[in-house]
A and B are shown apart, each in its own frame.
Chain A
């Protein structure tokens, strides 16, 4: 009989969740700290390196929105990042668009692609979902390799940075950095808002217990598609911006290893944390930049870092800190 299973009765130590407002206050402080850091950093560090970090950080943040809050592991996010970077580069170079318009075109491309790929992929769950996203991304890669306008193996090179709104010349790295920092910061705030919106609340519910969310009357596939498109769009924003910064769109950006890299960044930093992906991107890009002299060994070193991460702190750097502080970060 079911009622013989003696359970509970003893009052549990109520692990009371701290007031939400305190958490928000801490996160707000971190945002202000990050804004200050963004202003000071170019005085100390090489701006091109910083811009690379910021582009990848935004990419990882977008990816984390899908994985950490939507519970969906896409293994084809390079498609949105890469195709956006192609369209942005093409727009700036061939159509002669100003950088803000080129970035917009790239981002819109990613949104559209996300809508098409997403609506196919969300029909399946778990590993099958991941495999479909990978397969579709490989198709995007093949398209980039074969299509005329992408320049095949050469990619699109010598993309002009142009002048922002036709006024501010971006050839100067500091001006360019300013734009990237603003794009990154706004992107991050957007993601933060999405996570903490009524929509985000439903997403978290679906991630926590999908069939219960269904039984409450939520049509979960519509929410999954919505977050997929949002994530793809923001990944596209990162890719489109990167193409203007590096004046280049190439096959690297649509390659499956790029999809893997963003997974790595997110996991190292802390999946499902607000700030984790930024730390993850910083770690991975820094390794790639400063360990470049080791050539192919970078991959091996990255692999080791990843294994260590998984073994020592599965919740990632920021996830670990958050647990120690007992506060969501």
Chain B
């Protein structure tokens, strides 16, 4: 077929005390695409995400990233391979300024580990220009010196994306990037994701179907921990099983 798969899982399973939150999932994400993972509540999307980024250890199955088995890696090491995630609740460092939030990510990418406790913080100023560029890219320049905790929700999400981009990841995993956003922010963030997705692979969990429809190249539908359907939006939205899973049996 000649498909260029960057991330693939086989038989991915996560069992919590007898309950299979994720059951035998085979997922393939092609390089350079925006791939969406959708499904009704409790379908196992977020668990799946946590498995892919190794925040959870799967009970069975394998995960391959860039032809490398990452099933046994620790989450920090997965991030170092260029597979970086965001979180459902906006994950920023609340007591850092917007600039510092981005800079801490740059610090990791440029300097690797920072055990240099004897050096002054001034050493980090070389990263300021690049940090500011990233802050500008997500439209937060006027807030560069604001503490993250004081930002509005939508801006926190933008900051989170800037921080993630600072790592220059090959692949981004976005967990409900639009959750809790107002219309204005949704449009702005969708635009940002589209722009970012031009050079990278993105896998995202998202509830907002209109966003999914307009952004994604490919969609995987999960229900009860299993893959129900896969394809582009037109295919998936017409699939009777998907309609049933969303609306619920009995109402269809």
User: Which residues from chain A sit less than 8 Å from chain B, CB to CB?
Assistant: 1-3, 5-9, 12, 14-17, 193-194, 196-202, 204-205, 208-209, 211-220, 222-223, 226, 230
Contact = CB atoms under 8 A, between A and B. Distances in A.
B145 interface: yes
A202 B93 contact: no
Interface stretch (B16-24, B61-69, B177-185, B194-202): B177-185
A226 B147 contact: no
A200 B96 CA distance: 12
Q: Which of A16, A196, A212, A216 has the most CB of B within 10 A?
A: A216
B121 A196 contact: yes
A2 B163 CA distance: 23
Contacts of A208: 93-96
B95 to A, nearest CB: 5
Given A2-B179, A5-B182, A8-B154, 4 more contacts: A209-B91, A211-B87, A217-B108, A218-B108
Contacts of B184: 9
A71 B100 CA distance: 19
A3 B182 contact: yes
Interface string B97-119: 10010011101110101111111
B181 A5 contact: yes
Interface residues of B, number: 64
Contacts of A12: 150-152
Contacts of A223: 115
Interface in B159-203: 163, 167, 176, 178-186
Q: Which of B55, B103, B108 has the most CB of A within 10 A?
A: B108
B93 A205 contact: yes
Summarize A's interface: helix, strand, loop or mixed: helix
A218 B163 CA distance: 14
A1 B207 contact: yes
B14 interface: no
A200 B150 contact: no
Given A7-B154, A212-B87, A199 B180 contact: no
A16 B146 contact: yes
B249 interface: no
Given A16-B146, A212-B91, A219-B76, A3 B208 contact: yes
Contacts of A194: 117-118
A9 B182 contact: yes
Interface of B: 53, 55, 74-77, 79-80, 84-87, 91-97, 100, 103-105, 107-109, 111, 113-121, 123-124, 142-143, 145-147, 150-155, 163, 167, 176, 178-186, 207-208, 211
B182 A219 contact: no
A198 B107 contact: yes
B91 A198 contact: no
Given A17-B145, A201-B104, A219-B113, A214 B95 contact: no
A21 to B, nearest CB: 11
Contacts of B211: 3
Contact of A215 (B75, B113, B145, B182): B75
Q: Which of A5, A7, A17, A198 has the most CB of B within 10 A?
A: A198
Contacts of B108: 216-218
Contact of B117 (A16, A211, A215, A230): A230
A7 B124 CA distance: 34
A148 to B, nearest CB: 37
A14 B142 contact: yes
B146 A200 contact: no
Given A205-B96, A215-B79, A222-B113, A1 B121 contact: no
A16 B108 CA distance: 26
A12 B146 CA distance: 11
Given A7-B154, A17-B147, A199-B114, A216 B87 contact: no
Contacts of B96: 204-205, 208
Contacts of B93: 204-205, 208-209, 212-213
Contacts of B152: 7-8, 12
Given A12-B152, A209-B94, A216 B79 contact: yes
Nearest to A272: B95
A217 B167 contact: yes
Instruction: Report the 4 A-B pairs with minimum CB-CB distance, sorted nearest first.
Output: A8-B152, A217-B79, A199-B117, A212-B91
28 contacts: A1-B207, A2-B176, A3-B181, A7-B153, A8-B153, A12-B151, A14-B146, A15-B146, A15-B150, A197-B116, A198-B116, A200-B117, A201-B104, A202-B104, A209-B91, A211-B55, A211-B91, A212-B93, A214-B55, A215-B75, A215-B91, A216-B84, A216-B105, A217-B77, A217-B167, A219-B74, A219-B76, A230-B117
A158 B75 CA distance: 53
B119 A197 contact: yes
Contacts of B111: 198
Contacts of A5: 180-182
Nearest to A219: B76
A12 B109 CA distance: 32
A6 B181 CA distance: 7
A222 to B, nearest CB: 7
A117 B100 CA distance: 32
A202 B101 CA distance: 11
Contacts of A217: 76-77, 79-80, 84, 108-109, 167
